[in-house]
A and B are shown apart, each in its own frame.
Chain A
Amino acid sequence: MEPSNKNNLSASKLFIIAGLLLLAIGMLFGLTGALQYLAPKFLKQFLSFEKMRPLHVSSVIFWIIFAAMGSVLTYLQQYNGKKIFSPLLLKIQFGIFSITVVVILITYVFGVFGGREYWEFHPLLAMPLATGWILFIINFMASLESFKNLPVYVWMWLTGLFFFLFTFIESYLWLIPYFRSNVVNDMTVQWKSYGSMVGSWNMLIYGSSIFLMEKISGSKKYSHAPIAFVLYFTSLFNLMFNWGHHIYTLPTYPFVKHIGYAVSMTELFILGRIIWLWKSSVDTARRHYHQAAYRFLLAADVWIFLTLLLAIAMSIPAINVYTHGTHITVAHTMGATIGINSFILLAIAFDVLKDSCMPFEKSIKWINRGYYTANISLLFFWLSLVMAGILKAKWQMDDTSIPFSSMMLQLRPYFIIFFVSGVGLITGFYLVLFPLIKNQFICHYKKLFIKSKKNETVFIIDQFQSV
């Protein structure tokens, strides 16, 4: 096991803390963007929507990537029972990612974009990110002692590591004129890469969540069980081949769409398993509910069910033709990134960051309030998008279409609910994030001050801590 590092911000913890900070600012950008739906002239001169959207999207995607990297790096050390191969390489990786993210966010403010849908920044800035990721792979592979009898979560981490690099590079094939000369060719390759890229970071996150579940339950049976590998290969099959469901209406090869449709339906197996195991999940939930980390995993379970249900429905072309291009797609994305990815990563953050000089028990009341506020708000947030999507779908299929602007006015009540529940969501998340981040910084600075023997300052910090 990794040596206890109370009061110490190890590099792998830094990834998670940086991710939490990105989540905090990313949600603010998102809320401002939602406000621009209601008040189009708001910040139009300085931070119009085409700047606000990438600020939000990149911040929250980097939250997911930073926290996923942090969780894999931390749990890999716990799995190996020893430190990472090269802490220096880890620090360089953190430095590269942090500086690049700051530069990316600044470039948006100055109107410098990559202009791709949906995760975009200037292509030059992709180079340091790819370099940082290669360092991540090197450190991971060198730290892994043996390839024999690996548990399923290590398979998932390895898959995420290599497929992210592959799909990230693939998403820049458009820089070659051959790939971008026709819009249909360009979009086919683009959505092939993006579809699989999401699957790649999901592999990192779900792998870490399995590690955490085993840690909480104290049993290591699942990660070697045949069912774990059946589910892993089903997910990998989907990661590789289901991306065609993004482009059913694009005039690309029909077989791309048929493969996407057929492969997506294998997710029914995962859905069926969730329903089958529902009762035992509830029983387990009762046993571990007192743990903050477990509670977030439980919330993610509920959102996996809702999001998977929606995803499978949207993967049927006959339904997708109605939902495509509507806010139902956004509801699916928000359910997946907030309800699943963010809740799992918060569970991991609670587990990884609990090893500090200050326990979370003092803040548990506020964390609980934040947890319920975030979940209830997310439900309204999600439903408002589904409703707006249904109305837009009706408009898209209507023969006597009213103008786009009039249709958007009809959606306004749902955008208001979207914004208000967005305020609730951000409030809930901030109540959870604040103690997580505050504890780490207080403990870190306390250690620094102890080192420099400034006892008076330590006394002041102790006073602050007791408040």
Chain B
Amino acid sequence: MFLKRQKSATLIILLLGFLSYSFFLYMSLPVKSKPVKKEVDAGKMVWQQYNCNACHQVYGLGGFLGPDLTNVYSKRGPAYIRSFLNAGVGAMPVFNLSEAETKSLLTYLKDIDASGTSDPKTFTINYDGTIEQK
């Protein structure tokens, strides 16, 4: 039987756990912050302004119409990305980005690329069902 006190105690324990977990993450984010690069931040704003996420993924999260762009910078290079931005392709329209916007976006993609690898082939599967990156 769930008594009123037991319900309240369970709720309080869960709430305390949730708030502690949340504020721990806020205070110590996974990647220790370096000074914010202005151009990376500007590139992120371009990415969001043109809603690139609607079609593209980063770390497998985003739209499904275009490819995952996490490591496109190292795999294809800036010239390749620039040509797609200038000419458009398939469902992707020409966004007529300014030179400054293109540069910022490329810097942002370079920054994402440096943060890790999203390729699922690079993960090893452990017996307990967890995964680890090689």
Chain A positions near chain B (C-beta within 8 angstroms): 36-37, 40-41, 44-45, 48-51, 53-54, 113-118, 120, 149, 155, 170, 173, 177-185, 187-189, 191-192, 226, 229-230, 233, 236-237, 240-241, 246-253, 256-258, 261, 316-322, 324-327, 330, 396-397, 399, 404-405
Contact = CB atoms under 8 A, between A and B. Distances in A.
B116 A181 contact: no
Interface string B29-52: 111011010001100100111111
Contact of B2 (A41, A226, A248): A226
B4 A233 contact: no
Which of B1, B36, B112, B123 neighbours the largest number of chain A CB atoms within 10 Å of its CB?
B123
A183 B60 contact: no
Contacts of B120: 249, 321-322, 324-325, 396-397
B10 A233 contact: yes
A254 to B, nearest CB: 8
Task: Identify whether the interface residues of A are mostly helix, strand, loop, or mixed.
Answer: helix
A185 B33 contact: yes
A401 to B, nearest CB: 9
Contacts of A330: 64
A247 B64 contact: no
A246 B60 CA distance: 10
A414 to B, nearest CB: 12
Contacts of A399: 121
A396 B90 contact: no
B93 A257 contact: no
A115 B14 contact: no
Nearest to A322: B120
Contact of B29 (A53, A179, A320): A179
Nearest to A240: B18
B61 A115 contact: no
B14 to A, nearest CB: 6
A185 B50 contact: no
B44 A180 contact: yes
A241 B21 contact: yes
B18 A115 contact: no
A250 B59 contact: yes
Which are the 4 A-B pairs with shortest beta-carbon distances?
A115-B48, A325-B60, A40-B91, A251-B116
B62 interface: yes
B54 to A, nearest CB: 4
Contact of B54 (A40, A53, A236, A261): A53
A237 B4 CA distance: 18
B131 A317 contact: yes
B83 interface: no
A257 B131 CA distance: 10
Contacts of A178: 29, 33
A50 B22 CA distance: 32
A182 B61 CA distance: 16
- Max chain B CB contacts within 10 Å: which of A45, A179, A317, A326? A317
B111 to A, nearest CB: 7
